[in-house]
Amino acid sequence: MTFLALIGHLLNFAAPACGLALLLWGMPRLWPRARAGRWAARKELLALCGLGVAVLLVGLVVFGRDAKMLTYTALVLAQGSLVWWVRGR
């Protein structure tokens, strides 16, 4: 495997976590009456991405392969819970 192929695999592995993090981070900013978070915007986005990649890594270790639906369910629940906690709801 070449270095560029490795980078491509790692980016594709992290893409669902970072994509969902961008959606969860950006959607509350579309509503003018949305509450401000407890953290700065950059810290919130980095925490969401980090948590998401960690959940995907745990799913990879537990199931022995990537892209299991239970892992994606855990990803949505973990990141959604973090946004809920950061937004103070």
pLDDT of residue 87: 84
Round to whole Å and give the CA distance between 13 and 57. Answer: 9
Residue numbers in the chain where pLDDT is lower than 50:
none
pLDDT of residue 89: 63
Round to whole Å and give the CA distance between 8 and 31. Answer: 35
pLDDT of residue 28: 84
Burial class (CB in 10 A: 0-12, 13-18, 19+), 47: middle
Round to whole Å and give the CA distance between 56 and 74. Answer: 9
Of residues 87, 29, 22, the one with CA closest to residue 49? 22
pLDDT of residue 2: 96
Of residues 76, 16, 18, the one with CA closest to residue 26? 18
